[in-house]
Amino acid sequence: MSDEKVTGLASLPLELFDKILSMLDSVYTLGQFVRTSRFIYGRFNAEKAVLIWRALQRELGPGVIDAKILYTFEYAEPNPDNLYHYHGQVRNIARIYISMVRGLGVWSRPVVHIPTPYQLTEFAHALYKMNKIADLYIATQLQTFRRYVEKHVSSNESVLAAAAPLTPTERHRVLRALYRRQIVSNAWAPTRRHERYESWEEEDIISMGNINIDGREHDTREVSLGILAAFEPWGTQQVDHINLFLGRLCIALDRLTYDPPPPFYPILPQYSVSANREVKFGNMYARSSSYLVQYIKAHPDLVEEAVRILSSQAELPPDHESLQNPYLDRYGLFPLTYRFQRRRYDLIPHPETKGWEEDLKSIDFAGDEDPDADAGGTPWAWPDALNGHYVNWYGEALHMLPSLAGEDEETKLERRERAYRWRWAGFCFWDRERVEALKKLDEFKEFKRGWVGNP
């Protein structure tokens, strides 16, 4: 922008110009704008902290809460001397987290407290890293959806919406899930043990997964809520969506470093395992907001190839990960698994989520454009899949709800593969228009309303 062109902008009333500055919706856009002239930079410099914080808030949406929590809750490697004493810290973080989330509707109100310059820098760096991963996820999904749309016989406008660019609300959901997934990973990391499924204890389940303020069913003493109580079930499902992608991305990147790369599916002999490869995989998967981003920047060609592979293999079966990578079970996030949810269900029954038939609540869709809902509201795909029921199960547990017990093995397998495809497609990230468009495609036409509980 030349100085002559800026003259008209500079002649605006300062209040109006400052309003324009405050409406920029990303840190990157703000940075590019203030570089265009000395006048704009001068106005920016007068209120730098406020403008950066507002841009961060707009770019993150309700996820600004999760960004604050992640800033205070760092990753910690397992410490044998402190292995069973991390529960207090996790519960303290959960208490703060839950109190912040319950004030979700105030995220867009005028700024009350401006972070320090150091904090703003850290927030901006974290957002940059999360955006890198979000861009990969979005690119993979849109490439997949475009391929499906191109195969569709009648590519009318309603179907084309399936592969349209993301709305701001959809991107907010993806970003928020990335922050939340890292928070869950940080809470879980100090407990990582050999044979972890067998070594998890009651306190682990409570500190991570307690969602019932009354504690155990037959114990009226108050038990602190766990980290997952900060999320609604659809929020945890969004975390599962992004976690599924990160697992497959890390697998793809790991296998692409072999010369030549082994086939992705089906797998024949197990490929070699090494300590160095395991450490690298574990760091990228468990600490994706740092190690994975470093790898993305250092190996753009490998990452591009991994995205191509993942977008062309969306139909791979649910056992794809465990068949192809010896590290994923060790580093996978236990709080997102069915086994964790089942143990929580048995240990801390919730009066409103004891089973499909016993649900006392229903969930409504407020609309994708509801300013109070935004990324924090119920996405259309969730009540659509559950036929409006409130169910506190998510991820791989969606095909193993208590009400589905007794089904024959063939039905169980079909339900498992169906749930996996829905999870991999990230349905809970998308606005209603995209969801309805996807359901018109052959690949997703089986996802009728209430499909989770229907045969």
What region, left, alpha or beta, does residue 224 occupy, with left being phi > 0 and alpha being psi -120 to 50 degrees?
Answer: beta
**Claim to verify: residue 34 and residue 170 sit in the same structural domain:** no
In a shared domain, residues 161 and 195 = yes
Give the mean pLDDT of the chain: 78
Per-residue pLDDT at 214: 46
Same domain, 25 and 113: no
Q: Are residues 416 and 343 in the same domain?
A: no
Domain count, the chain: 3
Query: Cα(52)–Cα(30) distance, rounded to whole angstroms?
Result: 8
Q: Pick from 361, 351, 383: which is nearest to 234 by CA?
A: 383
User: Quick check: is 57 in a domain?
Assistant: no
Asked if the structure places residue 452 within a domain, the reply is no
Band (pLDDT 50/70/90 cuts) for residue 357 is very low
Task: Specify whether the CB–CB gap between 173 and 427 falls below 8 A.
Answer: no
Share of the chain above pLDDT 70, in %: 68
Residue ending a domain, among 333, 352, 371, is 352
Which among 289, 322, 352 is the end of a domain? 352
Q: Is residue 455 part of a domain?
A: no
Comparing 43 with 66, the larger pLDDT belongs to 66
Q: Please enumerate in sequence order all residues whose Cβ is within 8 A of that of 28, keeping only pairs 6 or more positions apart, or say none.
A: none
Q: Is residue 140 part of a domain?
A: yes
Q: Dihedral through CA 317, CA 391, CA 205, CA 331, nearest 10?
A: 20
Q: Specify whether 105 is located in the same domain as 227.
A: yes
Q: Do 123 and 215 lie in a common domain?
A: yes
Strand partners, 389: 362
User: In the predicted model, is pLDDT for residue 152 greater than 50?
Assistant: yes
Is residue 449 domain-resident?
no
261 and 158 housed in the same domain: yes
**274 and 326 part of one domain:** yes
- Whether the predicted pLDDT of 234 surpasses 90: yes
Give the separation between CA 88 and CA 70, rounded to whole angstroms.
17
pLDDT value at residue 432: 94
Place of tokens 């976690």: 243
pLDDT of residue 219: 44
User: What confidence score (pLDDT) does residue 6 get?
Assistant: 47
What does the pLDDT read at residue 411?
Answer: 79
Phi/psi for 389 (5° steps) reads -75, 150
In this structure, the answer to whether residues 40 and 79 fall within a common structural domain is: no
Q: What is the DSSP letter of 165?
A: P
Gap between the Cα atoms of 294 and 157, Å rounded:
39
Question: pLDDT (tens digit, 9 = 90+) per residue, 290-335?
Answer: 899 999 999 999 999 999 988 887 666 555 555 556 677 677 788 8
DSSP-assigned letters across all residues of 178-226: HHHHHHHHHHHGGG--TTHHHH--HHHHHHHH---TT-STT--S-----
pLDDT in the model for residue 19: 65
Query: Is 451 domain-assigned?
Result: no
Say if 9 falls within a structural domain.
yes
Same domain, yes or no, for 303 and 392?
Answer: no
Using an 8 Å Cβ cutoff, are 361 and 352 in contact? yes
Instruction: Quote the domain boundaries for residue 414.
Output: 353-444
User: Does a structural domain hold residue 51?
Assistant: no
Using alpha carbons, select from 209, 156, 165 the residue that is nearest to residue 334. Answer: 209
Judge if 280 and 291 occupy the same domain.
yes
Q: Does residue 208 sit in the same domain as residue 325?
A: yes
Please name the helix (run of DSSP H) or strand (run of DSSP E) that holds residue 203, with its range, or none. helix 202-209
Which residues lie closer than 8 Å to 285 by C-beta, 6 or more apart? 246, 247, 250, 292, 327, 328, 331
Task: Write down which residue in 304, 334, 352 finishes a domain.
Answer: 352
